[in-house]
């Protein structure tokens, strides 16, 4: 092995397209405990997903896709298993995972990670986890089946107990505001608003 090269260890199994092409709430729950991997600059960053929020499509008034197909939301209307990354407040990137068939326009926002490898800084909050994982808008639309940016599972890993609660920062969403579409791994404490990026995603 050449020094400086990053090799994915064999115990990580990349999630297939079919994992994402399912009910968004189910995908959100099953993303908990999975490993987000980003290989950049010869370094493999890894974080365990411990908090997510589901955004169910254009009928969900908390979702970006409720505003229709725009240059910003184009990725959400695309194929499942792609990253939807955008900027808020001019400084924080947020990462979502596109779910269900193309045109459905649903996604899962990643809200917190547990650091696993090569991550610096706080990871509780969508903006801070993107900073720690070196994720920015250059990865918007990236296929999560790629070699350098993907989500994986460790075969044999136990499914975490899950806490369910309403999503954060969606007061504008009317009757959808109290919807219990946020899922947290019970084993990992998190501070969803640690970086102030409470703006709704997905």
Neighbours of 116 (CB within 10 A): 14
Residues 6 or more apart in contact with residue 76 via CB below 8 angstroms: 63, 64, 65, 84, 96, 98, 105, 106, 107, 202
pLDDT digits (tens, 9 = 90+) for 51-61: 999 999 999 88
Interior CA angle at 95 toward 93 and 99, to 5°? Answer: 155
- Whether residue 82 contacts residue 16, with contact meaning beta carbons closer than 8 Å, is answered with no
Q: Which residues pair with 145 in a beta bridge?
A: 150
In this predicted structure, what is the pLDDT of residue 168? 81
pLDDT digits (tens, 9 = 90+) for 136-154: 999 999 999 999 999 999 8
pLDDT digits (tens, 9 = 90+) for 106-144: 999 999 999 999 998 999 899 999 999 999 999 999 999
The separation between CA 179 and the C-alpha centre of its own chain, rounded to angstroms, equals 19
Residues 6 or more apart in contact with residue 64 via CB below 8 angstroms: 55, 72, 73, 76, 86, 200, 201, 202
Residue 7 binned pLDDT confidence (cut-offs 50, 70, 90): very low
Nearest 5°: phi and psi at 35? -110, 120
In this predicted structure, what is the pLDDT of residue 141? 97
In this predicted structure, what is the pLDDT of residue 1? 29
In this predicted structure, what is the pLDDT of residue 187? 62
């Amino acid at each position: 092995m050449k020094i400086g090269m990053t090799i994915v260890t064999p115990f990580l199994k990349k999630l297939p397209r079919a994992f994402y092409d399912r009910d968004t709430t189910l995908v959100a729950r099953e993303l908990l405990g999975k490993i987000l991997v980003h290989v950049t600059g010869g370094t493999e960053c890894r974080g365990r997903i411990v908090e997510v929020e589901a955004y169910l499509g254009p009928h969900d008034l908390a979702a970006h896709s409720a505003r229709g197909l725009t240059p910003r939301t184009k990725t959400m209307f695309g194929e499942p298993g792609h990253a939807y990354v955008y900027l808020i407040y001019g400084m924080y990137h947020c990462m979502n995972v596109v779910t269900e068939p193309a045109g459905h326009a649903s996604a899962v926002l990643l809200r917190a990670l547990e650091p696993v490898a090569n991550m610096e800084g706080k990871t509780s909050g969508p903006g801070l986890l993107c900073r720690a994982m070196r994720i920015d808008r250059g990865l918007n639309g990236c296929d999560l089946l790629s070699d350098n940016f993907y989500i994986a599972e460790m075969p044999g890993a136990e499914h975490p107990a899950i806490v369910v609660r309403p999503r954060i920062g969606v007061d504008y969403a009317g009757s959808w505001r109290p919807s219990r579409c946020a899922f947290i791994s019970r084993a990992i404490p998190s501070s969803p608003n640690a970086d102030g990026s409470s703006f709704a995603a997905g």
